[in-house]
Structure formats: C-alpha cells, structure tokens
Amino acid sequence: MSQIELKNIVKKYGDGFPAVNDVSLDIADGEFMILVGPSGCGKSTLLRMVVGLEDITSGDMLIGGKRVNEKAPRDRNLAMVFQNYALYPHLTVFENIAFPLRLDKGKYSDDEIRSKVRNASSMLELDEHLERKPGNLSGGQRQRVAMGRAIVRSADAFLFDEPLSNLDAKLRGQMRTEIARMQRRMGITTIYVTHDQTEAMTLGDRVAVLKKGVLQQVASPRELYEQPVNLFVAGFIGSPPMNFLPARVKDGALGLPFVDVPIGPELQEQLKGKELVVVGIRPEYIKDGRLGDNRSDHAVEFTADVDQTEWLGNEQYAYIPYSAESEVQAKLDELDRELDGEGMRPQMVVNLDGRSRIREGDEATLYFDPALMHVFDPESGKNYT
C-alpha cells in the first residue's frame, strides 16, 4: 500500500508567515491528487516535503502508514518527475531507464536489469525506441522515458512539479492525456502540482486547492466546480471565471444588479442580519431568452445592455457592465488580486450558445435558474448554498 498521509503539516521558512499552514490531506493508494493554487500558495513546498527535499516544521508525514519525517529522500522510494525530464542525452532510452538500477551497484544482475527495463518499456509502449537517444524522441516519448525511469525501481508514488509548464499549448494538451493514461494504467499513487486549472480539472481524481499555505477544499473536479466552499475556490476554478455580483438582501429575495431573485426560507434565515452578499453565477448558466434552451419553470428573466460580444462559432461571449455597490466591489477587487488578477471589473460575462443572435449594443433578454446560483458571505467568503 502506498497511501500518503499529511497530518497537520506546517512549514515555516525562518520566522515568517508559514508557507504551509496546518495542512491535513489523505491521498489513497493509486489516487491521482492535484495540488493547485496561485503562485506562492505553498504547493511546491508541500510536494518537496513529501519527497524529503524540505524539512517539516511540524506535523506528520506518513507513506504506506509509516512516518517518514526524518527519512532521507532516497529512502522514501518516491519518484519525482521533473519539468525538463532530466534525461541523459548521451545514453539510449534503455540506459536512461536502467540508470536508477545501475546506481544500486551490484544489486541487480544484467538479466534482472534487462527484464525490469523491458517490463517498464512495454508498459510505456517504448519497446521500439530502446536503442534511440532522447534527442531523437518526441516530447511525449521523452516524458514516458522519464516515467519509465521512475517505475523501473517500483517507486511507491509519482510526484510531478509543474511538468508541462515549459511546453507550448498543443504539446501540453497531448502530454496531459498521456500522463492521465499512463497513471490509470499503472495505478500508482500520484501527486501533481500545477497552477493550470485545465490540468487540475482533467487529471485529478481529486484536487486540493491551496491559498496562502492553507488548504481551502479537497474534492473531485466536478464537486469543486459545482459546490465550491468559498469565494476563493469559486473564483479559481472555471474559465471564464464565475461571475460575482453584489446583491442586497431583501425580504424573500436578493437584489442583483439586473433583477430581484426570490430565495427560499432556509437561505433567508441564514442571511438574517446581512445587508449585502455576493452572488456567483457561472457564465454558461445564463441563457439567451430567444433560444429558451433548458429553461426551468423557476427561471429568472431579466434584460441587460450588452457592451461587447465575441462569437467563436460554437459559442459566444457577451460582456455586460453593471453598477456595483462599492463596499462589495472593494471586496471583490481584493479577491481578484488574491487570484493573481488586476482587480474585478463590474462586468458580467455570459457564455451563450453559438446560435445566439445577441449582438453588441442590444438590450438582451436573458435568464438563469436560481438553483444554480451561489450566495457568498462578502467577509468570510463562505458559500451559503
């Protein structure tokens, strides 16, 4: 078994603010876990503590049920796959994969090495390339050689630190599917650090979202998308991001910039004493009234002036400015900066079907299902829905 357990892990560099702050996370045997968050959130530090390249200030790190805090990296039996694959250009694919076995001098006979390399290469579909040098391989094949070197010594887990960030978009897409396929086939516990949410959403069985060293939510990609626990997660996951609209709490309703939306007694009760909240609606949940697709009986309709549109064939974006309550807008600006943005514009983005005829300058009729709307506390960021 190679589950990895993090128990109340803290990392402080010097006397400063903790780079990792009381993180607890259980990664199951064979699970693909993503660590994601904006720059400086502590994801690389966390990974480096798992590998043993960084001391743990406090907390316990367990691999396969055993505490490894004081174990040297080479005694943890983990395989780190680096951004540049760290292959030896002068060695063949065979020798690159065999390299970790040859390091353990005398431990393996030539026959054993040959058999282990063959096993790894057939799993990775590299059999035909064993005599080639890395310079003659595609990016995807090089990635597989790097993984081959990791699996040849039966590592308990794969650890990736932003392995695709140096590649162009097309190759990144190919490698992403390749890594996913390989990991599923081998079923090896994997921790993968990225700041790219497409990688997070497509690769992970579960995704752990970090902000300033603090774990915000650990969940499946779908759950993160549909049920973010707070404003930060809601704003981080999704592209274009969720719309955040300031809303005034009224009797039995929320006053959004364009329309009042009725709310049930339960939410009303939760919002007692609040004047202003932030309503979150994903761009694709707002629909063109003239198309009427998937319209529920509870849909709320409104009209709004469209400032700009972008038609992409299969879909269309419409940009709709609104006037905001300044207190809430200031909070949203702060949130946007935490997400590495430059401040939130009071503008709603709507992702419409490509058939939509809405154009710039139109007063558009739009609708959405209020069941798909999130309501956040502007102070704590907590999601009430």
CB 253, min distance to ligand ATP, A? 40
CB 217, min distance to ligand ATP, A? 16
Residue 383 CA to residue 234 CA, distance in Å, equals 9
The residue among 13 and 82 lying less far from ligand ATP, judged by its C-beta, is 13
Told to check if 42 binds ligand ATP by CB under 6 A, we report yes
- Taking each helix axis as running N to C, give the angle between helix 139-151 and helix 169-186, from 0 to 180 degrees, rounded to the nearest 10: 30
**Binding flags for ligand ATP, 7-36, as an x/- string (CB under 6 A):** ------x-----x-----------------
Stretch that binds ligand ATP, among 41-49, 169-177, 182-190, 336-344 (CB under 6 A): 41-49
List binders of ligand ATP among 43-102 (CB under 6 A): 43-45
Note whether 83 and 43 are within 8 A (CB): no
CB 43, min distance to ligand ATP, A? 4
Tell the residue number behind the tokens 């299969």, with chain if given: 314
Here the tokens at position 223 are 């759950």
Q: Which of 40, 59, 73, 139 binds ligand ATP (CB under 6 A)?
A: 40
Residue 165 CA to residue 199 CA, distance in Å, equals 10
Residue 88 CA to residue 97 CA, distance in Å, equals 10
The residue among 19 and 27 lying less far from ligand ATP, judged by its C-beta, is 19
Residue 122 CA to residue 202 CA, distance in Å, equals 25
Q: Which of 23, 25, 41, 150 binds ligand ATP (CB under 6 A)?
A: 41
The residue among 194 and 316 lying less far from ligand ATP, judged by its C-beta, is 194
Which residues, at least 6 apart from 278, have a Cβ–Cβ distance to it below 8 Å?
231, 244, 245, 246, 247, 328, 331, 332, 375, 376, 377, 378
CB 210, min distance to ligand ATP, A? 7
CB 342, min distance to ligand ATP, A? 18
Which residues, at least 6 apart from 364, have a Cβ–Cβ distance to it below 8 Å?
288, 289, 303, 304, 305, 306, 318, 320, 358
The residue among 40 and 289 lying less far from ligand ATP, judged by its C-beta, is 40
| Residue count, binding to ligand ATP (CB under 6 A) | 11
Tell the residue number behind the tokens 């990609």, with chain if given: 221
CB 62, min distance to ligand ATP, A? 21
CB 248, min distance to ligand ATP, A? 36
CB 36, min distance to ligand ATP, A? 9
Q: Which of 39, 84, 109, 314 binds ligand ATP (CB under 6 A)?
A: 39
Residue 172: closest CA among 203, 150, 148: 203
Told to check if 153 binds ligand ATP by CB under 6 A, we report no
Q: Which helix (H) or strand (E) holds 330?
A: helix 326-338
List binders of ligand ATP among 187-246 (CB under 6 A): 195
The residue among 53 and 371 lying less far from ligand ATP, judged by its C-beta, is 53
- In DSSP notation, 89-100 reads TTS-HHHHHHHH
Told to check if 129 binds ligand ATP by CB under 6 A, we report no
Which residues, at least 6 apart from 198, have a Cβ–Cβ distance to it below 8 Å?
176, 239
Residues that bind ligand ATP (CB under 6 A): 13, 19, 37, 39-45, 195
